[in-house]
Amino acid sequence: MPAGRWTAVRYADDFVTGFEFEDDVERFLVGVKVRSAKFALDLPARILG
């Protein structure tokens, strides 16, 4: 769970997230990378940092 406040908005096949703390962002990105690899999804480099 995030340490601070966060929000997520989903529309169709897109989503936007916002986090209060940078540590929460980093943990979220690790999870997104693992999950996208599991399903063989390619995400733009600008999203993955």
Q: What is the pLDDT along the chain (49 residues), one digit of tens a residue?
A: 788 999 999 998 888 899 999 999 999 989 988 998 899 988 777 766 5
Expressed as residue numbers, the domain containing 29 is 6-48
Q: What is the pLDDT of residue 49?
A: 57
CA distance 26 to 37: 17
- Residue 1 covered by a domain: no
- Residue 36 covered by a domain: yes
Sign of the CA dihedral running 15, 18, 24, 26: positive
- Residue 13 covered by a domain: yes
- Residue 24 covered by a domain: yes
- Residue 16 covered by a domain: yes
Q: What is the pLDDT of residue 1?
A: 76
**Domains identified in the chain, total number:** 1
Q: What is the pLDDT of residue 43?
A: 77
**What is the model's pTM?**
0.75
